[in-house]
Structure 1
């Protein structure tokens, strides 16, 4: 059954399996380091409370059976080990069911985490990782040729990701239509990196070209991923190039990297052979009947699930980063339908006075990646995902889900060690502060002249008090109020 196989995509299969496994490893490592403080037994939004009010049928997770930080960490460490095995290629040396079982374990384990992760795991790339892990599970091993239905379905993921993002932009703010969005984006994006400052200061014609190139790459090029070769390979190279530009200019966790990996599904072995001289392994044997049957059943299942996200792409009320089922399969993607023109940051500060007056000396807490100290260079953290820093960005934009922030302020007043490990700088290493407050500040990049004179990457100005000074006795009852419109 030659129609079933895609024998000319062996190199793509190796990249897909190892690349998705690498993203799983990063996801599990970040969960190990952050989940107990954010969502653990004494976290900001504890999982035991969540599963007590949300039934299994709405959020399938092994943690409905039982949750403990030890159990969570154990699952994550197994996930790290299994991901490493896939990166090395050990399961791929066995029969087709070997990598399938390992990938399905990673998918089920991470699904259990995401489904109880609440706002800290509500990002589109969490669902993208889950969908990718489930689909590439059925690529098999080198014992069989890559199934063509799975290879094409991976391209369908990339199409939804890119075309969905393009449609969100066209339907969103006027800045995307008048080509001015990148006048602001490099400065107001959630997590700028060291290059963002320099790109922001490029001339306006360059930024207009960025937007125009983005529209071509997201609204036109994705259709050619399904074209005959070598057109599909050329389209894939364009998508990969645009994603590498996003890698260079920002911190978007593993979103760009997994998109790059998945796009290799459209590059055939002949292209690798012609461009790089890479020769794939010899042709594998015919796929066994059980494997063919499993792949066709899964393909049919995924096609049925594709109806809702496909319809969503062409709906005026298009959803972005939405899952239409509890298993996070065949999702809707997209981001930055509008670009904010002003950057706000929440600055958290402590004070040790008995009763701080107007001239009191407040000490600032430092976060790992989000802008704080104007003289600190924005760090490169992607593909790692700092969930607390991302939520602080949404908080400054006016997010009304502030329960976690209230508890966060309380944990700082208690000098909770697990919470403090999420931060880069704790101004009170020996004892907790008596008071906590949160200020809202406006940030903009320094000009070239300002940076030469002061060394500062940012210029910030006070907007107002987000949380008035609160002490432990009263609790942070005002946390999250008075957010900007």
Structure 2
């Protein structure tokens, strides 16, 4: 079938696949580095405890058949190895059927992690990576022309990501409609980056322009993805530019980077090659019949699953970052339907004194990404995902997010647990564990230019209340 492939997108497909494999690689490395403390046999939310109460049909995962920390590490590092091989071009160096199997491996392995990841993996970009990875299985390799149907399915996916995010904003917080949300967002976002302080201090009229441009980029531009070229390529370029703006202004794991990757298949590679020194597509053989049948079947399958996400887009009760099936295929997306006006942070402290008095000296634990020391400039971690730091942001919003892992986290600090301490930036008790640990809630605000120059502080903070009273090893067992 001549219509089946679009060879003009040959280069776009290669760039998309290599970039997607790089995102997979980061996701697997993050899982390997953090799972033992969060999900391991002695972690805060152990996988064996989860699989004992949740059946396979509700959370498909290979860990239902066997779990050990060593096995999880093998799964994560195997996924990283396969992803690295794809980045290096392995999927383009093998026959089509082998390439598809190679792409299927990281999807299956990462889905197994996400489906037992519980609170630590409850973020929209996990489902986005899985849905994108599933479609990549059927996109072919350098030896075949890109299938038109899968290219359109990828546009449908990036459309839902952007358009869904735009709609959830217009239906949510009034500050999106009066163009004032960015008066607060850069300061109150989950994990500010090194430029967030500067973004926050941009003039308010420019913040209003930013919000207006965001509405255009998320509500108007995605529709243009379905128009003829070169308009669709221009629309993809606008999406890339707006996502890079978000990359500069904060840390959102791989959400922005993956959205950039998703926009790439909408770019006409042959058109780009006509104005830039890029390789043109080679002469490619016709796709084998079995491959055409598989792609047609997958397209019908995805179109069928699209009913609920499409209905969700037009619903007044739009769901944000929701999966309608256990395979995380054809999901609902969205981000920041509401914006916090104030930033609160839970500061965790310990002491080595046996008796707690008004004179007790408390020393603060430092986290890698979340704000703590007012003099510390926020760091850039994205696309790497610091899961503990992100959950600490939610805990500061509501104590409900602390259940059931926060007290076990404190218990681990009282033991100087190596796996937990690996997730932190500083441990004020490197030799002997603290006798007591407490947590306090602070209101954080970015300083102004004068205070930054005179004190070197990026943040000023004010104590709000006690979050967790001082607790010892003996008491934490009874908590």
1:276, CA displacement in angstroms? 1.9
Please say which of residues 236-245 and 87-96 is displaced more in the overlay: 87-96
Alignment of 1:187-198 (within 5 A): 187-198=187-198
- Which residue is equivalent to 1:10? 10
- Which residue is equivalent to 1:293? 293
1:306, CA displacement in angstroms? 0.7
Give the whole-Å Cα distance in 2 for the aligned partners of 1:316 and 1:177: 16
Structure-2 change in CA distance of 1:392 and 1:421 (3 Å): same
CA deviation profile, 1:430-473 (whole Å, cap 9, x unmatched) = 01100010000000000000000100000000000000001010
- Which residue is equivalent to 2:443? 442
- Which residue is equivalent to 2:126? 126
1:275, CA displacement in angstroms? 3.5
Alignment of 1:411-426 (within 5 A): 411-426=412-427
1:477, CA displacement in angstroms? 6.0
TM-score scaled to structure 2, two decimals?
A: 0.99
Aligned with 1:373: secondary structure?
A: coil
1:409, CA displacement in angstroms? 0.4
- Which residue is equivalent to 1:481? none
Give the whole-Å Cα distance in 1 for the aligned partners of 2:439 and 2:229: 56
1:399, CA displacement in angstroms? 4.7
Alignment of 1:349-368 (within 5 A): 349-368=349-368
- Which residue is equivalent to 1:267? 267
Aligned structure 1 segments of 4 or more residues deviating by more than 6 angstroms: none
Preserved CA contact (<8 Å) 2:306 2:330:
yes
Match status 1:24 vs 2:24? yes
- Which residue is equivalent to 1:216? 216
- Which residue is equivalent to 1:229? 229
1:143, CA displacement in angstroms? 1.9
Give the whole-Å Cα distance in 2 for the aligned partners of 1:306 and 1:12: 25
Preserved CA contact (<8 Å) 2:270 2:280:
no
1:28, CA displacement in angstroms? 0.4
Give the whole-Å Cα distance in 2 for the aligned partners of 1:193 and 1:271: 36
Alignment of 1:58-77 (within 5 A): 58-77=58-77
Alignment of 1:9-408 (within 5 A): 9-401=9-401, 402-408=403-409
Alignment of 1:424-463 (within 5 A): 424-463=425-464
Preserved CA contact (<8 Å) 1:406 1:476:
no
1:274, CA displacement in angstroms? 3.1
Aligned residues between the structures: 478
Give the whole-Å Cα distance in 1 for the aligned partners of 2:404 and 2:35: 16
Give the whole-Å Cα distance in 1 for the aligned partners of 2:226 and 2:291: 24
1:360, CA displacement in angstroms? 1.2
Give the whole-Å Cα distance in 2 for the aligned partners of 1:271 and 1:178: 39
Aligned with 2:138: secondary structure?
A: helix
Aligned with 2:368: secondary structure?
A: coil
Give the whole-Å Cα distance in 2 for the aligned partners of 1:373 and 1:476: 30
Give the whole-Å Cα distance in 2 for the aligned partners of 1:153 and 1:240: 18
Give the whole-Å Cα distance in 2 for the aligned partners of 1:171 and 1:271: 38
Give the whole-Å Cα distance in 1 for the aligned partners of 2:461 and 2:108: 44
Preserved CA contact (<8 Å) 1:409 1:476:
no
- Which residue is equivalent to 2:476? 475
Preserved CA contact (<8 Å) 1:86 1:99:
no
1:144, CA displacement in angstroms? 1.4
Structure-2 change in CA distance of 1:280 and 1:426 (3 Å): same
TM-score scaled to structure 1, two decimals?
A: 0.97
Give the whole-Å Cα distance in 1 for the aligned partners of 2:244 and 2:99: 28
Give the whole-Å Cα distance in 1 for the aligned partners of 2:426 and 2:477: 21
Give the whole-Å Cα distance in 2 for the aligned partners of 1:393 and 1:438: 14
Aligned with 1:139: secondary structure?
A: coil
Preserved CA contact (<8 Å) 2:13 2:146:
yes
Preserved CA contact (<8 Å) 1:406 1:477:
no
Consecutive unaligned residues of structure 2, counting only runs of 5 or more, are: none
Give the whole-Å Cα distance in 1 for the aligned partners of 2:178 and 2:358: 46
Preserved CA contact (<8 Å) 1:346 1:392:
yes
1:185, CA displacement in angstroms? 0.3
CA deviation profile, 1:327-360 (whole Å, cap 9, x unmatched) = 0011111110011010000000001111121121
Preserved CA contact (<8 Å) 1:187 1:445:
yes
Aligned with 2:330: secondary structure?
A: coil
